Amino acid sequence: ADKVGKVWGLGSSTTKDPGPWEGEQRNMWKPTQQEALWFHGGNLHQSRHYSQYLSLQLKARQVGLPTPVYGLQEVYHKG
């Protein structure tokens, strides 16, 4: 849990969704700081829509294609 960082939220600078603004959901449908750990979730529409992007990223990595990431979430809990 220490390596993963925050999950969900856009960084809208509210009490329960602190910034900075990232422009996409934190740690959703992209690789996390923990190797081989990906999160997939949301309502039915989000799950159906983003499952395609998630599967394409996983397949690309499986066959060795580069899959650049917008930005990995910083480690949140530091021990």
Q: Is residue 62 packed enough to be buried (19+ CB in 10 Å), middle (13-18) or exposed (0-12)?
A: exposed
Residue 24: CA count within 13 A, CB half-sphere? 11
pLDDT of 35 above 60: yes
pLDDT of 79 above 60: no
pLDDT, tens digit (0-9, with 9 covering 90-100), for 51-72: 998 999 999 999 999 888 776 6
pLDDT attached to residue 52: 93
Tell me how many domains the chain contains: 1
Range of the domain at 6: 1-79
